[in-house]
């Protein structure tokens, strides 16, 4: 089965006009490296780790004690910047035997977006390296020759018996392949002895080597590096984005398609199964759209759905702001997601931190049994943690799940969800946050701190100390309320936990101070069964709280239904 990226439309950069195109697909088979340089936490990226989205496992790292030069002003999201100095040393090592095909295979292709900050100095772009020492002979390598070299990209290799030195123009592109301070897409392909160069999808010179003789690099130079040759020499000055390496020669049409595409995104749909292996993954492609853990699936998917098969998954995943993502389990009776007990920060299954980001984030999570602990590490395990959606709209649907709690410490609680500072400017035609058709058996239930405009309906909350906590805790948001809570069942809420009483629905704004704006909420058509307290309010005396609409609910065995505490 082929990995195929199809181009439907692309904004073409660096041309005098923008073009709307429809072109053939880019065949992603034999893709060895795909670096987006977006510093995506959900992919495990950090200042010292670069994720390989090709699925081939050729991750990137940096020299000891250094960090990658991540920037946010790439041509597509993030990029990496090189300042040309050994002090910063932003070199990136591409691991896991990358020189095998570089030196010995008869075909390869390298493509990237590059924005150089100088065209008057020669610069090394890619070469071989010893990943342990960060040094070694870097031949063969790709470099940019300024001055008398005419602004050419050259393949500098002592193993091609070309006239003159390794810097001879006969092993280079045509002149002026890079444009100063402009993003340029360059591609270099090798097919046996034939080397071809492309600028913005257009052929830009090439040559046929007299001999394809190569030699093993030796000296531990098993990997490639970006930004330098060895540990010194003429370092790269500028930025690189969307680096892709193939172990075959792309056709000229594919090179043009790759330029028009601009950014190679992942598949629209991926499949996760804890039984998948690289050799057995249900007819899908391991590392591209097939994985054995949920986090890798989230990292790989472009903008749609992660299907998670029946099984048990013990992991804490991170989702970035700006995601448009559906995580769909096979069903809450067959797919279990366990929050790891060793997350010392705050035990969770799903975490999405939207602090200070203006991107619209859309999440839909369904079809799981979430299992969380109340333990000594965090005192409160949380299945789903969505933090501070304050600047950008959040569209959230959590439905058809089951939440259960493993008790390890008496009188401690776990939460099904902590939705902290999640607000929306207005409700609109429907609520931006919808929580429905869930079974919640956790003691802490849902904590909605400084929240606004939630619809919570058709859920069953059983045994919680407070099934819904609607209160203060994320102080940046001063407008709260406008919730619609209906057609739920609340039962067996107990005040036995410390610091009680704990109503099934608990409005708690004690300690929040002044300056809050409270919008009325509606609580209707719910069933309250055998709770110590059904609905409670804990308010500052100086707060003017609007009258919530509480009507058409049933109370069976509950001691109180609306009490100020």
Q: For 443-463, what is the mean pLDDT?
A: 90
For residues 241 and 332, state if they share a domain: no
Contacts of 235 (CB under 8 A, 6+ apart): 82, 84, 85, 86, 91, 123, 124, 227, 228
End-to-end CA distance of the chain: 63
Is residue 113 within 8 Å of residue 185, measured between CB atoms? yes
Task: For residues 520 and 453, state if they share a domain.
Answer: yes
Burial class (CB in 10 A: 0-12, 13-18, 19+), 64: exposed
User: Quick check: 439 pLDDT over 90?
Assistant: yes
Q: Does position 287 have pLDDT exceeding 50, yes or no?
A: yes
The confidence score (pLDDT) of residue 488 equals 97
What pLDDT shows up at residue 177?
Answer: 92
d(CA 247, CA 26): 14
Question: How high is the pLDDT of residue 131?
Answer: 64
* pLDDT tens profile 316-348: 888 877 788 999 999 999 999 988 765 445 567
Give pLDDT, residue 16: 27
Cβ neighbors of 218 (< 8 A, separation 6 or more) are none
**pLDDT number for residue 159:** 37
The pair of three-digit structure tokens given for residue 490, joined into one six-digit string? 């609340």
Instruction: Taking residues 392-396, report their average pLDDT.
Output: 79
Instruction: Pull the structure tokens for residue 381.
Output: 């395990």
Question: Quick one: pLDDT band at residue 123, thresholds 50, 70, 90?
Answer: confident
Q: How many CB atoms lie within 10 A of CB 120?
A: 10
Q: What is the pLDDT of residue 294?
A: 93
For residue 555, list its beta bridge partners: 528
Q: How far apart are CA 340 and CA 336, in angstroms?
A: 12
Is the Cβ–Cβ distance between 538 and 511 less than 8 Å?
no
16 shares a domain with 134: yes
Task: From 261, 278, 302, give the residue that closes a domain.
Answer: 261
Query: Which segment, 21-25, 170-174, 284-288, 499-503, is predicted with the most confidence on average?
Result: 284-288
Predicted TM-score of the model (pTM): 0.79
| pLDDT at residue number 412 | 66
Supply the range of the domain harboring residue 535: 310-564
Q: Is the pLDDT of residue 500 over 70?
A: no
Does residue 544 have a cis bond before it (omega within 30 degrees)? no
Q: Is residue 369 scored above 80 in pLDDT?
A: yes
Total residues found in the chain within this entry: 565
Under the banding of pLDDT at 50, 70 and 90, the label for residue 244 is: very high
What 8-state DSSP symbol labels residue 260? H
Banded pLDDT at 499 (limits 50, 70, 90) = low
In the prediction, which pLDDT does 66 show? Answer: 85
When computed from its CA atoms, the radius of gyration of the chain, rounded to whole angstroms, is: 28
Q: 393 lies in a domain? A: yes
Do the domain assignments include residue 229?
A: yes
Whether residue 37 has pLDDT greater than 50: yes
Out of 261, 294, 326, pick the residue that ends a domain. 261
Count structural domains, the chain: 2
Q: How many angstroms separate the CA atoms of 205 and 434, rounded?
A: 57
Domain shared by 239 and 359, yes or no:
no
Taking residues 3-15, report their average pLDDT: 37
State the DSSP H helix or E strand holding residue 550, giving kind and residue range, or none if neither.
Answer: strand 549-551
What are 206-220's pLDDT values in tens digits?
Answer: 877 644 434 333 344
User: Looking at the predicted structure, is the pLDDT value of residue 312 above 90?
Assistant: yes
| Structure tokens given for 305 | 């759905």
Q: Which of 261, 276, 300 is the last residue of a domain?
A: 261
């Amino acid at each position: 089965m082929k990995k195929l990226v199809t181009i439907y439309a692309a904004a073409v950069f660096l041309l005098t006009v923008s073009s709307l195109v429809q072109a053939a697909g880019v065949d992603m088979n034999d893709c060895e490296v795909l670096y987006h340089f977006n510093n995506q936490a959900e992919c495990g990226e950090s200042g010292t780790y670069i994720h390989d989205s090709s699925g081939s496992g050729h991750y990137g790292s940096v020299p000891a004690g250094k960090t990658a030069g991540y920037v946010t002003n790439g041509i597509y999201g993030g990029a990496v910047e090189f300042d040309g100095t050994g002090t910063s040393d932003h070199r990136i090592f591409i691991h896991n035997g990358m020189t095998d095909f570089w030196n010995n295979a008869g075909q390869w292709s390298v493509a990237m977006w590059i924005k150089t900050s100088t065209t008057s100095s020669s610069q090394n772009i890619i070469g071989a390296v010893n990943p342990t020492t960060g040094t070694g002979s870097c031949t063969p390598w790709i470099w940019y020759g300024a001055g008398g070299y005419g602004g050419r990209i050259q393949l500098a290799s002592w193993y091609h018996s070309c006239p003159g030195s390794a810097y001879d123009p006969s092993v280079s592109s045509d002149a002026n392949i890079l444009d100063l301070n402009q993003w340029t897409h360059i591609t270099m392909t090798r097919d046996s002895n034939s080397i071809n160069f492309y600028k913005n999808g257009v052929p830009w010179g090439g040559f046929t080597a007299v001999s394809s003789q190569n030699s093993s690099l030796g000296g531990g130079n098993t990997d490639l590096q970006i930004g330098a040759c060895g540990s010194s020499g003429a370092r790269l000055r500028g930025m690189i984005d969307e680096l892709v390496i193939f172990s075959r020669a792309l056709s000229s049409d594919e090179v043009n398609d790759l330029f028009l595409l601009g950014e190679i995104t992942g598949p629209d749909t991926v499949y996760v199964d804890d039984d998948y292996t690289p050799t057995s993954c249900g007819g899908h492609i391991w590392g591209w759209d097939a994985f054995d853990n949920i986090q890798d699936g989230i990292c790989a998917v472009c903008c749609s759905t992660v299907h998670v098969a029946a099984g048990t998954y013990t992991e804490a995943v991170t989702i970035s702001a700006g995601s448009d993502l559906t995580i769909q389990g096979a069903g809450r009776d067959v797919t279990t997601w366990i929050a790891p007990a060793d997350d010392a920060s705050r035990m969770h299954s799903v975490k999405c931190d939207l602090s200070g980001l203006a991107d619209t984030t859309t999440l839909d999570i369904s079809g799981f049994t979430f299992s969380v602990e109340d333990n000594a590490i965090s005192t409160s395990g949380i299945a789903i943690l969505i933090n501070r959606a304050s600047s950008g709209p959040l569209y959230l649907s959590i439905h058809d799940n089951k939440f259960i709690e493993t008790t390890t410490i008496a009188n401690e609680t776990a939460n099904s969800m902590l939705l902290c500072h999640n607000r929306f400017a207005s409700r609109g035609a429907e609520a931006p946050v919808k929580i429905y058709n869930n079974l919640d058996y956790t003691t802490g239930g849902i904590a909605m701190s400084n929240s606004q405009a939630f619809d919570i309906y058709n859920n069953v909350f059983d045994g919680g100390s407070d099934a819904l906590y609607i209160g203060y805790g994320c102080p940046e948001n001063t407008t709260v309320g406008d919730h619609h809570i209906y057609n739920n069942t609340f039962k067996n809420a107990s005040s036995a936990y410390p610091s009680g009483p704990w109503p099934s629905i608990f409005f708690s704004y004690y300690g929040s101070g002044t300056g809050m704006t409270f919008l009325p909420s509606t609580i209707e058509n719910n069933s309250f069964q055998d709770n110590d307290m059904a609905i409670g309010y804990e308010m500052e005396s100086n707060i003017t709280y609007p009258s919530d609409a509480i009507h058409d609910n049933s109370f069976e065995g509950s001691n109180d239904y609306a009490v100020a505490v």
